[in-house]
Amino acid sequence: MKSNKELFAELDTFIEEKHNDPSELIAILHKAQGLFGYLPMNVQQFIADKLKINVSRVYGVVTFYSFFTMVPKGDNVINICLGTACFVRGANDLLARVEEILKIKNGETTPDGKFTLTTLRCVGACGLAPVMQINDKTYGNLKVDDIDGILSQY
Ligand code: FES
């Protein structure tokens, strides 16, 4: 795993490749999130300083787009599909069960950093609805009773 210093150096190089151009802010934030996994305030401040813009402008963009996050991701990312096919087949009940077991809400990470829970709109596996993904693995045709057993594998 890279150190924070190395991550900042890599981000610095990327920003320079973009000629410290504020119009590249979204691309730079994507790069930063890819490096750090999320966008904490010190990373936002670093970017603002490099682009010579106010950090509130960076913060505004981060909070506007749902694909940017200021919360560190857990070791395992759970995605529950809430697309139409999954929804009509009970995806909401799956979500409720995961929230109950992990004691977190959609979008949150467990205090031990083990799981992050998120939802998606159709992951392209409608034939398997309802679908849940954990990291790169897809679980289909799920029932609420399956959830405990699956989570205990992580
Ligand atoms: S709606 Fe869930 S995979 Fe398509």
Q: By the 8 A CB rule, do 22 and 48 touch?
A: no
Q: Which of 149, 124, 121 is nearest to 138 (CA)?
A: 124
Cβ–ligand 1 contact at 82 (below 6 Å): no
- Measured at the CA of 34, the angle between CA 29 and CA 36, to 5 degrees, comes to 90
Are residues 84 and 31 located together in one domain of the fold? no
Residue 136 inside a domain? The answer is: yes
Are residues 50 and 84 located together in one domain of the fold? no
Task: Please report which helix (H) or strand (E) contains residue 21, including its range.
Answer: none
Please determine, for residue 91, whether its predicted confidence score (pLDDT) is greater than 90.
Answer: yes
Cα(150)–Cα(78) distance, integer angstroms: 11
Task: Please count the structural domains in the chain.
Answer: 2
Best residue among 80, 88, 123, 141 to mutate for probing ligand 1, ranked by most atoms within 8 Å of CB: 123
pLDDT for position 49: 98
The mean per-residue pLDDT over the stretch 136-144 comes to: 96
Cα(12)–Cα(32) distance, integer angstroms: 10
Cβ–ligand 1 contact at 122 (below 6 Å): yes
Residue 70 inside a domain? The answer is: no
- The residue segments making up the domain with residue 52 are 4-64
Whole-model pTM over 0.85: no
